[in-house]
Amino acid sequence: MRAKIIVRAQRAIRVRGRPLKLTVRRPRRLWLPFGSTLLVFSLFNFACAIGTLAALIFPGTRMMLPAAWRIWLWGSIGLAAANALLVAALVPLLNGIGIAHGSPPSGDLKGSIGNGLVMFGPLVASVGGTAWGSMRGYRLAVRRANVSTAV
């Protein structure tokens, strides 16, 4: 036998003679801090793929191929490493915060640093890691070119 679900009608809550309408407004857009990381990673990979393919296809730019793929590789490594460091920094700050514990206490320095890292950390880490890795790849390509021309 199936159990019957009984729905009880509730009386409308009235304030000053008018029915009280409780509406919950949802935000129109959900902002994810690590969404900026995905955007930076996608744009960087797209630009590097175009640059590497151009260096491979066009004969005049073929000398840039070693630099192009090294910049692409080391930029991706820098982006992943910077975000891994950011997550490692966020884990101790966010440890123990959950739904059951309620909202974290506000006003302390640790909470302010945590809020700043959560809000702006992914974008700063993504751009900084990509820039550092790209410069590292470029320096390796230049060093390789200088060694090969000296021989």
Q: pLDDT tens digits for 51-72?
A: 899 989 998 888 888 888 999 9
Residue 7: predicted pLDDT: 44
Query: Closest by alpha carbon to 127, among 68, 78, 70?
Result: 78
Query: Both tokens of residue 53?
Result: 């393919």
User: Does 64 map to a domain?
Assistant: yes
User: Does 45 map to a domain?
Assistant: yes
Residues facing residue 18 across a β-bridge: 15
Mean pLDDT, the chain, rounded, equals 76
Distance between CA atoms of residues 116 and 104, nearest Å: 14
pLDDT of 33 strictly over 70: no
Residue 19: predicted pLDDT: 66
Write the CB contacts of 4 (distance below 8 Å, at least 6 apart in sequence): none
pLDDT of 9 strictly over 70: no
Residue 149: predicted pLDDT: 63
Query: Closest by alpha carbon to 126, among 70, 87, 69, 68?
Result: 87
Residue 73: predicted pLDDT: 92
User: Does 23 map to a domain?
Assistant: no
Residue 87: predicted pLDDT: 86
Question: Residue for token digits 């590497």?
Answer: 52
Beta strand 14-15 with 18-19 is antiparallel
User: Does 140 map to a domain?
Assistant: yes
Residue 38: predicted pLDDT: 82
pLDDT of 102 strictly over 90: no
Residue 90: predicted pLDDT: 81
Distance between CA atoms of residues 125 and 135, nearest Å: 15
* Number of domains, the chain: 1
Query: Both tokens of residue 107?
Result: 């006003």
User: Does 19 map to a domain?
Assistant: no
User: Does 25 map to a domain?
Assistant: no
User: Does 1 map to a domain?
Assistant: no
Residue 77: predicted pLDDT: 93
User: Does 3 map to a domain?
Assistant: no
- For residue 50, the enclosing domain spans 34-150
